[in-house]
Structure 1
Amino acid sequence: MLVVASFFTSALTASFGVGGGVAMLALLGIFVPVAVLIPVHGAVQLGSNTGRAWIQRRFIRMDVAAPFMAGSVVGAVAGAFLVVQLPDALMKIVLGAFIILVTWTKIPGINRLGKAGLAVASSALALISMMVGATGPLVSPILAQFIPDDRKALVATHAASMVVQHALKILVFGLAGFAFGSWLPMVATMIFTGYLGTTYGSLLLDKLPEESFRRWFKIGLTILALDILRRGLSGFF
């Protein structure tokens, strides 16, 4: 079931730019032990995003991706040594509210933020990625602020950025002693079907008008954010 689901979740992200990583995290939570959920999810998403970045490589905006990648390295290193334990419910509420805010409003002065500012923002996102599973819905609206009118560039740049974040996450878990070998056959098969899904989703992206993409992109992000808020609020009751 997970192998088949990998096809559809990868197609979802390739065509609409968001949603597949969170959906896969939820599905993995049903079938794999909680203790291995984050590293296994990271390995699957590393493969999925690598395939998406390769297929859509000609659309990657390196002027946006490069500072994001550099900042991610700093954030991942900090996440490996800095112990930050916030209440899970509070974290979800803050993330959900932030995603909705950034999705539907233009951040003042975002055009003047520059590469240094983007690197700082990506450092914070990488640090958050070490504490929660899927941060794609958080990264997407940030990148959308820098790439407001090119859906193909947005999806491709998001893929390239997430490759770095997931690779760093895998490195940290590997150094911590997580045994990826026992999960490799399942992960490899899911990466393969995910690549097929990415290929299909990229074809849909080519046919999707820019206006329709932006509308469904925002709707998808909002639905995911509302679900994050719901889970956060339920943690207080």
Structure 2
Amino acid sequence: MGDLMVMPEGLSLAAFWALMATSYAASFITAALGIGGGALLLAVMASLVPPAALIPVHGAVQLASNAGRMGMLLSHVHWPALKGFTLGSILGAGLGGLVVVELPPAIIQVSVGLFVIWSVFSKPPKWLSRFPVLTGGISSFLTMFFGATGLFVAGYTKAQNLARHGHVATHAALMTVQHCLKVVVFGVLGFAFGQWLWVVVALSVAGLAGTFSGRLVLGRMSDAGFKRALDILLVLIALRLIWQALTG
């Protein structure tokens, strides 16, 4: 692969294969547990991908992952849930794009680390689930800085009181909208997606494989024990990321 494709600046071959394994594992976790994979992928990417490329590349991979999940369950998507959320997401992503370009790399790394820790120990306010425009706006604004805001959107999706397949499909559709807007905004801001394109495609394929594997073992594991181990791993990775930013 090294002879056919040039690694993007700041990404080593070893880091690429580590990201491939993480993308598979992250999609496996999301398919098996419903949430958590995006935060894991973000935390690992933050240690291996240059800070300037972290959020846009993560967004592109998550766009492909969620779009694939939505496509598998397209008939179960609750389309009315997307109306207000999409409007808010357009406003939030646009506003976030005006601010994110001014942040130094170390601030982004520390912010991502703190956000990952927060996502483990806290929950979004319940009132967010009642106002789709506000939920879309706040989560899309934050995703421009932190990347993995599926936790916010999950609360809104849960409030729709959908059947299991409808919940998974609708959450994937909402996140597809959000990540699509993020990719568009970063493209307008001048991020060079071209040199990262083959990496995004490779990670997306690994993620798709993880999704299929996760669906096969869904319900065959101890959710509580698995989630506890995932939370510990996320906190350790986040603390390491914060330490790197503060000492670098």
User: 2:171 aligned with 1:158, yes or no?
Assistant: yes
Cα separation, 2, equivalents of 1:179 and 1:99: 32
Q: After superposition, where does 1:59-208 map in structure 2 within 5 Å?
A: 59-81=76-98, 100=121, 102=123, 107=126, 113=130, 117-144=131-158, 146-148=159-161, 150-205=163-218, 207=219
Map of 1:5 onto structure 2: 22
Deviations 1:185-208 (A, max 9, x none): 111111112112212223444x56
When structure 1 is superposed on structure 2, of 227-236 and 159-168 the one drifting more is: 227-236
Gaps of 5+ in 2: 1-16
Structure 1 residues 27 and 231, CA, compared in 2 at 3 Å: closer, same or farther? closer
Residue 35 (structure 1) shift: 1.7
Deviations 1:60-112 (A, max 9, x none): 22232332223211211222335797x77689768865875547xx93x788x
Please tell me the residue identity of whatever aligns with 2:215.
Answer: S
TM-score by length of 1: 0.74
Count of matched residue positions in the alignment of Structure 1 and Structure 2: 225
When structure 1 is superposed on structure 2, of 64-73 and 121-130 the one drifting more is: 64-73
Q: Which has the higher contact order (CA 8 A, sep 6+)?
A: 1
Gaps of 5+ in 1: none
TM-score by length of 2: 0.71
Structure 1 residues 9 and 148, CA, compared in 2 at 3 Å: closer, same or farther? same
Root-mean-square deviation over aligned CA pairs: 3.7
Contact 1:29 1:37 in 2 (8 A): yes
Please tell me the residue identity of whatever aligns with 1:161.
Answer: L
Contact 2:39 2:116 in 1 (8 A): no
When structure 1 is superposed on structure 2, of 121-130 and 216-225 the one drifting more is: 216-225
When structure 1 is superposed on structure 2, of 149-158 and 90-99 the one drifting more is: 90-99
Indicate the percent of aligned positions where both proteins have the same amino acid.
35
Residue 5 (structure 1) shift: 2.5
Picking from 40, 48, 60, the partner of 2:65 is 48
Deviations 1:127-150 (A, max 9, x none): 111121221233223422x14563
